[in-house]
Structure 1
Amino acid sequence: MDFDLPESATAVREGVRAIAGKYGQDYWDRCDTEKRWPEEVWTELVKGGWHSLAIPEEYGGAGQGLLELAVALESLAAGGAGGAASFMYLLTPAFGGLTITRHGTEEQKRAFLPAIVSGELETCFAITEPDAGSNAIAIGTQARRDGTDLVVSGQKIWISGVERAGFMVLVTRTIPAAEARPRTSGFTVLLVDVKEAVAKGTLTYRPIPKLGTNTVASSMVFLDEVRVPAERVLGEPDQGFAVLWDILNPERILAAAGGVGSGELVLEVACAYARERAPFGTPIGANQGVAFPLARIKAQLELARLMTYKAAWLWDRGRPCGSEANIAKLTAADAAWQAADRAFQTHGGMAYSLEYPVARMFRDARIAKNIPVAEELVLAHIAQHELGLPRSY
């Protein structure tokens, strides 16, 4: 057993931290307030190849793995980005880069991966629907065959980054749920040309006002006879559920990495305040009522980090990692939320002031307990698959 990170991952940590260190909390607060993408940071990540770590070298990437991608995300979050870092590494590096690398044809890889590496192409992912949130089996977006094309109609919700994306990784049904045997058959994953469909008026979207994570918009998406050539099917038609799970597990692992990094950031902010604030002549951090909860959060973050790295390590080796991905996501999201809540309490009334970054971190941390999968469903998965308890849904 070796708990040392490989040199590739430590180099990633140092490189991404160096970029993050150039930008203070004021920068991230401005991006959130102005509801704008952190373009300056993204440009630096692309220029250094830090976003294309898991893309094979033959297509211009670094030829590394999900572990390095997770370390990069964690480092960016801990370096100041907080919750914003997760979207910067999920939308294009994971949903586009990882998915096409694993499931694309050679023609698809050559068409899309170099464009992702160069920064010319960004992607988003569309699965969630108004009537099919966590229950992917129930999605109603349908693709019918018309010659060699597929024609897609339906509605998606909470689709982040569609306004920037050149292509969307879209999960649709090619066999209606009522007819599919088994229930997990009949899914097809498509690469949809967003800009072309928008220009034709067959794809429209409407941003949803949000409580936090405002550095990227999340939208309602409407698809009305969107035409997709057959050569843009990812994986096999009607057999897209395997592709879907190979998207969802990395998504949960990377979300966990973002939670660990965000938790470290907010813990650092809380401890800095606890060392400086001395209303009665002694820093409040000397009080066990302040110090012990912060110490407990540090322990929780270290445990979440270990499980996140283990899940990424397993995925990189093609081994089952569903339970590990879920446990990593559960523990990291909870630790990040506990850190944000305790930072709020540590700052007292000043936490309510927007002059401090605590409010943004507090808002961003809460949603991680619900996405990309609600903690109740994670617990149901663990109960069923790890404890052998009856399925509850």
Structure 2
Amino acid sequence: MDFDLPEGAAAVREGVLAVAGKYDQDYWGRCDADKRWPEEVWRELVDGGWHSLAIPAEYGGGGQGLLELAVALEALAEGGAGGAASFMYLLTPAFGGLTIARHGTAEQKRELLPAIASGEVETCFAITEPDAGSNAINISTQARRDGDSFVVDGQKIWISGVERADFLVLVTRTIPAAQARPRTAGFTVLLVDVKEAVAEGTLTYRPIPKLGTNTVASSMLFLDGVRVPADRVLGEPDQGFAVLWDILNPERILAAAGGVGSGGLVLKTACEYAGERAPFGTPIGANQAVAFPLARIKAQLELARLMTYKAAWLWDRGRPCGSEANIAKLTAADAAWQAADRAFQTFGGMAYSLEYPVARMFRDARIAKNIPVAEELVLAHIAQHELGLPKSY
């Protein structure tokens, strides 16, 4: 077994850290306060090819894999972006680049991958619905065939980045859940031209006020007769469940990478403060009550990193990785939250001041225990598939 990062992945880490190092916490704080996408950082990632790592070289990408994408995301988060980094690597690099490279037709790849690699096209992803939540099987957004197109009606919720996106990777039902046999049949994944649908008035969206991760908007989507050409199907009509899992597993792995990187950033912030703050003459970090919880978080983050890399390694090799992706997401999200909570305690009353980044890190960290999948569902999956216990839902 070799635990060294591959040479390419190690170079990715150094390159992305160099980009992140140009932007301090004041920058990220302003983006959050202004609810503004970190455009300057994004342009640097695009110009350096750091966002298109998993796009094949023949389409202008880096020709690498999910592991390198996870390493890049972790580095951006750890280098200063924190929770904002996850969306920067999920929305277009993963939902667009990775998915189209894996499941797109030859024509879709020729049209979209070079444009994604050059930064001309951005994407987002829509599966969650108001009445389905975590039960993806039960979604009701319907796509019906009409000649050489599909016509889509339905609603989606918590869709991040639609206001920037050129294309929406949309999960629909072409066979209603009640009629599907098996229940996983009847899914169709579509590439929706967002700007065209908005201009036609068939797609509208409304941003949702939220607690954190304010560098990207999350919206309620309304689809009312959105027309999508049949050649915009990713994979095969009615057979989109396999495509869906090839989106959800990388999403969980990248979310885990974001948790590891964010947790590392928060831990570093807490340790720097603990090493300097000395109200009684000795730095508070010398006290075991302060030092030991921080040391435990370091251990948790290292374990989460190992599982994240393993899950990405498996996915890149086309091997089953559902349990590993879930375990990585579970452990990384928990470690990141514990880091944020402990940083808040380490800063004491000053954590409540917006002059420090701790409050923002605290807000951003909490949601990772709920998205992209709630930890209770992760535990249910592990109990059923790894421990052989009866299905609980």
Q: How does 1:105-254 map to 2 (within 5 A)?
A: 105-254=105-254
**Aligned counterpart, 1:103:** 103
**Aligned counterpart, 1:311:** 311
Helix, strand or coil for the counterpart of 1:124?
strand
**Aligned counterpart, 1:271:** 271
**Aligned counterpart, 2:38:** 38
Distance in 1 between residues matched to 2:226 and 2:270, nearest whole Å: 49
How far residue 160 of structure 1 moved from its aligned partner, in angstroms, is: 0.1
Distance in 2 between residues matched to 1:53 and 1:301, nearest whole Å: 24
Distance in 1 between residues matched to 2:349 and 2:6, nearest whole Å: 43
The amino acid of 1:57's aligned partner reads A
**Aligned counterpart, 1:89:** 89
Distance in 2 between residues matched to 1:355 and 1:337, nearest whole Å: 21
How far residue 248 of structure 1 moved from its aligned partner, in angstroms, is: 0.1
Distance in 2 between residues matched to 1:298 and 1:178, nearest whole Å: 47
Cα deviations by residue, 1:41-90 (Å, 9 ceiling, x for unpaired): 00000000000000000000010000000000000000000000000000
How far residue 315 of structure 1 moved from its aligned partner, in angstroms, is: 0.3
Helix, strand or coil for the counterpart of 2:369?
coil
The amino acid of 2:75's aligned partner reads S
**Aligned counterpart, 1:388:** 388
**Aligned counterpart, 1:22:** 22
**Structure 1 segments of 4 or more deviating over 6 A?**
none
Distance in 2 between residues matched to 1:326 and 1:362, nearest whole Å: 23
Q: How does 1:363-378 map to 2 (within 5 A)?
A: 363-378=363-378
Helix, strand or coil for the counterpart of 2:124?
strand
Normalization by structure 1: what TM-score?
1.00
Distance in 2 between residues matched to 1:147 and 1:247, nearest whole Å: 28
Structure 2 residue ranges without an equivalent (≥5): none
How far residue 172 of structure 1 moved from its aligned partner, in angstroms, is: 0.2
Q: How does 1:312-327 map to 2 (within 5 A)?
A: 312-327=312-327
Counterpart check, 1:257 vs 2:280: no
Distance in 2 between residues matched to 1:78 and 1:235, nearest whole Å: 35
Q: How does 1:344-383 map to 2 (within 5 A)?
A: 344-383=344-383
Counterpart check, 1:65 vs 2:65: yes
How far residue 321 of structure 1 moved from its aligned partner, in angstroms, is: 0.2
**Aligned counterpart, 1:51:** 51
How far residue 19 of structure 1 moved from its aligned partner, in angstroms, is: 0.3
The amino acid of 1:237's aligned partner reads P
Identity %, equivalent residues: 89
Cα deviations by residue, 1:348-382 (Å, 9 ceiling, x for unpaired): 00000000000000000000000000000000000
Distance in 1 between residues matched to 2:9 and 2:238, nearest whole Å: 37
The amino acid of 1:142's aligned partner reads Q
Distance in 1 between residues matched to 2:172 and 2:342, nearest whole Å: 41
Counterpart check, 1:336 vs 2:314: no
Counterpart check, 1:288 vs 2:288: yes
Distance in 1 between residues matched to 2:362 and 2:63, nearest whole Å: 35
Q: How many residues align?
A: 393
Distance in 2 between residues matched to 1:21 and 1:48, nearest whole Å: 15
Distance in 2 between residues matched to 1:201 and 1:29, nearest whole Å: 35
Distance in 2 between residues matched to 1:237 and 1:130, nearest whole Å: 24
Normalization by structure 2: what TM-score?
1.00
Distance in 1 between residues matched to 2:142 and 2:289, nearest whole Å: 55
Distance in 1 between residues matched to 2:237 and 2:145, nearest whole Å: 11
Distance in 2 between residues matched to 1:381 and 1:104, nearest whole Å: 29
Note the aligned Cα RMSD (angstroms).
0.3
Cα deviations by residue, 1:175-231 (Å, 9 ceiling, x for unpaired): 011110000000000000000000000000000001000000000000000000000
Helix, strand or coil for the counterpart of 1:281?
coil
The amino acid of 1:360's aligned partner reads R
How far residue 148 of structure 1 moved from its aligned partner, in angstroms, is: 1.1
Helix, strand or coil for the counterpart of 2:11?
helix
Helix, strand or coil for the counterpart of 2:225?
strand
Helix, strand or coil for the counterpart of 2:14?
helix
